Structure 1
Amino acid sequence: MSANTWIIIAVVIYFGVMLGIGFYGWRKTTAYGDYVIGGRDLPAFVAGISAGASDMSGWLLMGLPGALFVSGMSELWIVIGLFLGSWANWQWVAPRLRAYSEVANNSITLPSFFENRMHDQTRALRVIAALIIIFFFTFYVSSGMVAGGRYFESTFQGDYIWGLLIVGSITVIYTFIGGFFAVSYTDVAQGVLMFAALAIVPIMALFAIDNPGDIFSFPTNHAYGPWPEGNPDFFNFFTGVSAAAIIGNLAWGLGYMGQPHIVTRFMALRSPAEARSGRNSGLIWVGVCFLGAIFTAIIGASFFGQTQHSVVDQEGFETIFLDMTRILFHPLFAGLVLTAVLAAIMSTMSSQLLVTSSALVEDLFKVFAKKEPSQATLLIASRTMVIIVAILGIVMALNPSDTILGLVGFAWAGFGSAFGPVIIASLFWRRLTAPGAMAGMIVGAVTVFVWGSLPATSDIIYEMVPGFIFATIAMVVVSLATKPTAESESEFDTHVKVVDYALSHPNEDFHQALSNISAQGGNQTGPRAV
């Protein structure tokens, strides 16, 4: 059999497993709440791995190695920022958001949480948050479609359009039928694939080159990829990198707090106490995957410089992981390893499709419906929206105008700036008001869109930095100029008490503790309620 036939067999097996998990999710989904947030019954290990897998997307195996391959270790500031941001998100946001989202009228989406947290009667806060999700996730989903098309170009020397259509269709099918359960458990399977592939491929490439000991000197002195004479600053973190670039790359970590597809995992945990074990499993996964991506670029410079092989993508060099795998392994095993890239692409797309569908149904359709829709109607509407959002993403990906990392960076900054400050303030500042939250979201989203669209500003610093700063200023100023409702202040105090109790009594039933504390009413409980 030809190499492509073996790889196709591996990919078909992978697709079959994903669809099987989707069917499992369908069996477990009996209500609308199950479809959107899994009935708040997500185990910590699943939450930790699925949060990481849904976060990293195709850029971990394609965008990041390509950026490091081209620019050297100066791109590592992104990795440092992301790792620190992931830790902070699990450490501080996860337990509080898990508790508060249930205290605040059992909110199952981020926009509904904002509305219930601030007791906004106008519904404007919820609608604005939903529209921001729909706008930026359209770009995010498009980045996954682009990655799927490029995957098929590199792996099968196939057609870009057919690639994005196939990857998009399979992702839509298991998300459509299985909802949150399918998305979360496919994320775990996909996360394990990504973990194994990023550990195996660099090691095998190291053994395949003539002088393995030269990997830390070869890129600086020899021709490879885009560097006909080598890159003398390949391993330098600072030379040629401005302070603004370092700050901008580190700022990627700020974006974690505002990513709806990540924080939804926190809301779905069984209890706030499980955030600790979710954090541990998630950070181990993230750390190993980052190391694998880094060494893919380092070893890749020697691999493609010392051999006659070349990278398929000669612009962004985002296919180096795919090309190394295809060259190094038997086609069947290569196919199994290459499914890790599909895993990275599809795990993120499925989460984004589900969150966008939830925003359209839970935060727009239900808000404007004249009467409360039935559970069956909500399920049908959610599944229909998954298809519509996927079609929009495919249309945008037909003629990609940016790299995978560029598309991801724009959407990441949009969510980080619009939602990050508001989520942090919602959980730690009882003085936050609905007008303040709206001001922060609008200013953050608009700043990212304008700053990122203009070369004169986007070349200065990553749009996340001004977006996050301006959003925070607007949120604080407007909140101080307005007054929070008495109900929101009382509920804030209740949530603090619930979190403190849940974290100090991790083995007790959370729902019983929540019921008892809520019945007692909220009182000021400690220095963390400010």
Structure 2
Amino acid sequence: MAAGIMIAVLAIYVGVAIVLIRYVKTEDDFYTMGGRGSTLLIVGTLAATYLSATTLLGIAGQSYAEGPLVISALGSFGAWIGTLLAVIYVGRKMKAYGSTTMPDFFDKRYNNKWVSIVAILIMIVGLIGYGVIQFIGAGIVLSEVTGIDYRWIVILFTLAMLAFTAIGGMYGIVVTDTLMFFTMLTISVVIAPLLIGQAGFEQMKGLAESLPGYWSIGGTEDRHIGWSISQFLVWILFFACIPALVSRVFPAKNDFVILKVAIIGVFFAPFMQLTVFLAAAAVRVLDPNITDTDYAMVTGFLDFTPPAVAGIGLAALMASIMSTASTLFVLVGFALSRDLYERLLNKKMNTRQSLNAARVGQIIVAIVVCAITLARPSAIYWISIYAGSIFAVGWLPTIVASFEWKRMNSKAAMASMIVGVLSFVGIGEIARLGWIQLPEGVDELMIALVFSIGILIIVGFSTKPNQYEIDYYHTMKATSMSKITIKEFLSKPDGLAKIKKQYKQIYTIAIIMTVITVAVWGYLFLMFGFN
């Protein structure tokens, strides 16, 4: 029954995507749904992408094994800070500058072929790594439910995802993501409380007696505080510039939608994660003998909830995987076709040819991701950290300096991106081989970030921006989403009244979400004795 419900829900998602193809008539529809994204749609797609296999399988598994606070106290907190930065800082600015994709920004900012190529390669490598996580998650869930061999499941899921992502581009993804978001909410508001209720708050707190450190930041492994801080930093830096989140801003109608999304996301991001982590601790009480911890939540659904609820939970888990995986397919397909092949190689294509090229790019990415997934090289959580760190050290310093520093130029951008990625990979591999010993609490991300920022500053002061880069910097400073939105509203009848109405809505939403947040977190703190 559980498998049947899961398959039925997933079939609905695919059916909706097929129906939405009629709305994809132009490249703008395919890449940014024509800028028609409402608050509901953008909140839905953002939250759906945020809650991926990393949370529901990888981090939930670590919460089961080591304790919920190892990640939720700092890592999850850093993740939603990074999400806020992705929405109101990086994404909002790039949308104002007319970017359709993130590589668009690099192209517009520097008008330099090699800067664009390096940026695109970082994006492709990072997203493929993050995509592998989703595919491993799909293989775990579906093989557990159906009994079909993991390898065949991965191959079948790859084919299904290709059919899903090639249909409607970003238009189809945003709408189906919103449907998936409401399915995912069942985990946080129905299934997690059900598992916690069966385990009992006292029994969950009692895990610390048999598992010392289970309810501490260090966890059962007694991790150094420096490790926890590094997780806090990596999730801020990663989420602030990952294309899967930043690109969610591009379809938004206007700046009011973006601000509302930021406010609502402050609540849903930590809420949806923390309830999952607590539910994983509940599963530890109910079944303390799960050896492959990536299966912890799947076991919780199948063994400790009614079949109908389990089916919805599995559908929600698969929705989180499909949402993130479909986004990555589309973004990398865009990068290969539109940003790399069409623009940088100066290949002139009409709308039909461009869309077909994007789909070919998705097929190429699918084959690569499928091959890596079949090997299943590491645990889900650690793959996510590695993929995320590439964006943190390769992109973020360059993006921030591109926004804010007048001396920033293509040479500094190239140096920062290349040195950041190579130092991260190089130091990490040397440390793993045992050739060097990193100080306790310091990892390769921190060192690589210092190198990336340091070389950016050195090259930036040693060279000068060209006239194009200076002119575009001033253009950016004179451009903002708020100005664009106000101008747009004032051009309509009763524009000023509509602006005032939008501001009132923002204040109202902020107050409501604050009250809900205090109530939810206050209740959890009291029940777990954190008061």
Distance 1:326 1:371, change over 3 A: closer
Question: Over aligned residue pairs, what C-alpha RMSD do you find?
Answer: 2.4
Q: Report 1:40-55 matches (<5 A).
A: 40-55=35-50
Q: CA deviation at 1:278?
A: 1.4
DSSP-derived class of the 1:498 partner: coil
> For the residues of structure 2 that align with 1:140 and 1:510, how far apart are their CA atoms?
42
Q: CA deviation at 1:435?
A: 1.2
The aligned counterpart of 2:70 is: 74
The aligned counterpart of 1:485 is: 466
Is the Cα–Cα contact under 8 Å of residues 54 and 262 in structure 1 kept in the other structure?
Answer: yes
Q: CA deviation at 1:238?
A: 4.5
Q: What TM-score do the two structures reach when normalised by structure 2?
A: 0.85
Q: CA deviation at 1:503?
A: 7.8
Distance 1:88 1:215, change over 3 A: farther
Q: CA deviation at 1:507?
A: 6.8
The aligned counterpart of 1:214 is: 202
Distance 1:400 1:205, change over 3 A: same
Bigger shift: residues 285-294 or 343-352: 285-294
**Match among 384, 388, 402 for residue 408 of structure 1:** 384
Distance 1:476 1:509, change over 3 A: farther
Q: Report 1:97-496 matches (<5 A).
A: 97-100=94-97, 102=98, 107-120=99-112, 123-209=113-199, 212-221=200-209, 230-238=210-218, 240-251=222-233, 252-305=235-288, 310-311=289-290, 314-315=291-292, 317-369=293-345, 371-454=347-430, 455=432, 456=434, 461-496=442-477
Q: CA deviation at 1:460?
A: 5.8
> For the residues of structure 1 that align with 2:108 and 2:28, how far apart are their CA atoms?
17
DSSP-derived class of the 1:467 partner: helix
Distance 1:67 1:462, change over 3 A: farther
**Letter matched to residue 365 of structure 1:** Y
Bigger shift: residues 156-165 or 249-258: 156-165
> For the residues of structure 1 that align with 2:347 and 2:136, how far apart are their CA atoms?
40
Is the Cα–Cα contact under 8 Å of residues 22 and 177 in structure 1 kept in the other structure?
Answer: yes
Distance 1:148 1:411, change over 3 A: same
Distance 1:371 1:510, change over 3 A: farther
The aligned counterpart of 2:515 is: none
**Letter matched to residue 502 of structure 1:** K
Is the Cα–Cα contact under 8 Å of residues 3 and 145 in structure 2 kept in the other structure?
Answer: no
> For the residues of structure 1 that align with 2:450 and 2:215, how far apart are their CA atoms?
31
> For the residues of structure 1 that align with 2:228 and 2:491, how far apart are their CA atoms?
42
**Letter matched to residue 214 of structure 1:** E
Q: CA deviation at 1:428?
A: 2.2
DSSP-derived class of the 2:375 partner: coil
Is the Cα–Cα contact under 8 Å of residues 92 and 481 in structure 2 kept in the other structure?
Answer: no
Q: CA deviation at 1:74?
A: 2.3
Q: CA deviation at 1:165?
A: 2.5
DSSP-derived class of the 1:384 partner: helix
The size of the alignment, in residue pairs, is: 483
Bigger shift: residues 230-239 or 349-358: 230-239
Bigger shift: residues 471-480 or 497-506: 497-506
> For the residues of structure 2 that align with 1:182 and 1:294, how far apart are their CA atoms?
30
Q: CA deviation at 1:234?
A: 0.7
**Letter matched to residue 113 of structure 1:** F
Q: CA deviation at 1:184?
A: 1.5
Is the Cα–Cα contact under 8 Å of residues 99 and 272 in structure 1 kept in the other structure?
Answer: no
Deviation track 1:53-96 (CA, whole Å, cap 9, x = no partner) reads 22331111111111111122223321121122222333322322
> For the residues of structure 2 that align with 1:168 and 1:333, how far apart are their CA atoms?
26
Unaligned runs of 5+ in 1: 1-5, 222-229, 512-530
Unaligned runs of 5+ in 2: 493-531
The aligned counterpart of 1:25 is: 20
Q: CA deviation at 1:216?
A: 4.1
Q: CA deviation at 1:339?
A: 0.8
> For the residues of structure 2 that align with 1:56 and 1:472, how far apart are their CA atoms?
30
> For the residues of structure 2 that align with 1:506 and 1:295, how far apart are their CA atoms?
46
The aligned counterpart of 1:522 is: none
Q: CA deviation at 1:368?
A: 5.0
Is the Cα–Cα contact under 8 Å of residues 215 and 298 in structure 1 kept in the other structure?
Answer: no
Distance 1:510 1:426, change over 3 A: farther
DSSP-derived class of the 1:373 partner: coil
> For the residues of structure 1 that align with 2:236 and 2:280, how far apart are their CA atoms?
22
Is the Cα–Cα contact under 8 Å of residues 118 and 484 in structure 1 kept in the other structure?
Answer: no
Q: CA deviation at 1:35?
A: 1.7
> For the residues of structure 2 that align with 1:24 and 1:471, how far apart are their CA atoms?
46
Q: Percent identity?
A: 20
Q: CA deviation at 1:236?
A: 1.4
Is the Cα–Cα contact under 8 Å of residues 34 and 180 in structure 1 kept in the other structure?
Answer: yes
**Letter matched to residue 135 of structure 2:** M
The aligned counterpart of 1:523 is: none
Is the Cα–Cα contact under 8 Å of residues 218 and 302 in structure 1 kept in the other structure?
Answer: no
Q: CA deviation at 1:349?
A: 0.7
Is the Cα–Cα contact under 8 Å of residues 94 and 275 in structure 1 kept in the other structure?
Answer: no
Is the Cα–Cα contact under 8 Å of residues 254 and 485 in structure 2 kept in the other structure?
Answer: no
> For the residues of structure 1 that align with 2:459 and 2:139, how far apart are their CA atoms?
45
> For the residues of structure 1 that align with 2:256 and 2:474, how far apart are their CA atoms?
18
> For the residues of structure 1 that align with 2:45 and 2:267, how far apart are their CA atoms?
13
Deviation track 1:231-253 (CA, whole Å, cap 9, x = no partner) reads 11011124723232022111121
